[in-house]
Amino acid sequence: MNLSDLDLQGQRALIRVDFNVPLNEAREVTDDTRIRAALPTIQYVLAQGGSAVLMSHLGRPKGRDEKFSLKHVLPRIENLLGQKVKFASDCVGDSALDVTHPMKPGEVTLLENLRFHAEEKAGDEFFAGQLAENGDVYINDAFGTAHRSHASTATIANFFPEKKAFGKLLAREIEALEKVLACPEKPLTAVIGGAKVSSKLGIIEHLIGLVDCLIVGGGMAYTFVQAQGGSIGTSLVESEMHAQALSILEKARSSKTELLLPTDTLCGDTFAPDANTQVSPIHAITEGWMGLDIGPETTARFVKAVLRSKTVLWNGPMGVFEMAVFAKGTNAVAASMAKATADCGAFTLIGGGDSVAAINKAGLAEQVSYVSTGGGAMLECLEGKVLPGIAAIRN
């Protein structure tokens, strides 16, 4: 299962990478983080005397669509790798095999977008077999799609029963997640924020009983407050989730998990960066005002809980952090993650799009233990699900 267990000498390593990068109107890469993240595995394969066949999806094309061609990404890959990369105009069939079969050690080929074929998302067995002809060994290094049961992430592993492994990036993701979910140093705290209870319900339910302290902030907190009879003004709410919110509170009461909810909130009179603001108790928000960040008392409680932990997981902002005036709570949590790492020797993991954006914005990404690359995949792990991309390598 480990890359180091594979004999790569003279072998073509078929690597599932995540090159689903943002492109601008001129089809230039605007953020190459995901390409950089894949380099260690590619470079390792080449250093071991192998060649690398890279396959990925890009965007959501419906059939072949030049707009989503991976050839737009090719120059940046060549630039970062510092060598020429061949391009196959399709990922299966002769257009691919004519390029990948004659490959020599040290060479790299990029296959065209996997999602030009509907069979990719369908996890089609025949298509996976065609893909498999492009390599002698299979490596999955795409955590971002590990929760998908697609041909290139799951089905294909059947064609390499003895010759498959996790890439370095995926292995690090799994290791970081296991440090939190499987064998955490205690106390273990999870900070969950974001807009909606409905999208984090599975995570919250899975974490109750598992973590020592569960902190719930962000827009979803107001549903809990309203369900208990509080006045939340015009704050974001999912009234149809009252029953679930109350059941979570009940479940937490009868478990070993301490559930922390906000007690005060920073409100705005409108959803705008220049809104008038006031702090109020979270259960008594003035009519016409909306809670857009956690208040100072809550921030202090949450920070204190993070700083007494040995393992901390954070997913989701505490408020509308995109507006500076409502970013204080989120920034304070970001800073406490860095402080817990440095001062308390805690293992701190940040997972999911907006918390990653927040820690980057705060300039603290280097000061936490691990920043996960996979949004949806991370969320499914936190819900306790087994990811098909991981299971396919392990089974």
Q: Which residues are catalytic?
A: 34, 196, 353, 376
For residues 236 and 195, give the distance between their C-alpha atoms in angstroms, rounded to a whole number: 8
Give the CA dihedral 242, 246, 247, 248, nearest 10 degrees: 100
Which residue, 123 or 268, has its beta carbon nearer to ligand AMP? 268
With beta carbons less than 8 A apart as the criterion, state whether 321 and 199 touch.
Answer: no
Is residue 302 packed enough to be buried (19+ CB in 10 Å), middle (13-18) or exposed (0-12)? buried
Which residue, 236 or 305, has its beta carbon nearer to ligand AMP? 236
**Shortest distance (Å) from residue 250 CB to ligand AMP:** 23
For residues 78 and 12, give the distance between their C-alpha atoms in angstroms, rounded to a whole number: 18
DSSP for 151-165, written as a single string: TTTTGGGGG-SSSEE
**Shortest distance (Å) from residue 194 CB to ligand AMP:** 3
Residue ranges in contact with ligand AMP by CB under 6 A: 194-196, 199, 218-219, 236, 291-292, 316-317, 319-320, 322, 354
Which residue, 45 or 334, has its beta carbon nearer to ligand AMP? 334
Which residue, 74 or 195, has its beta carbon nearer to ligand AMP? 195
DSSP label at 231? B
Which residue, 142 or 197, has its beta carbon nearer to ligand AMP? 197
For residue 359, give the 3-state DSSP assignment.
Answer: helix
For residues 245 and 253, give the distance between their C-alpha atoms in angstroms, rounded to a whole number: 13
Find, among 219, 220, 182, the residue nearest to 204 by Cα. Answer: 220
**Shortest distance (Å) from residue 368 CB to ligand AMP:** 18
**Shortest distance (Å) from residue 283 CB to ligand AMP:** 15
**Shortest distance (Å) from residue 378 CB to ligand AMP:** 11
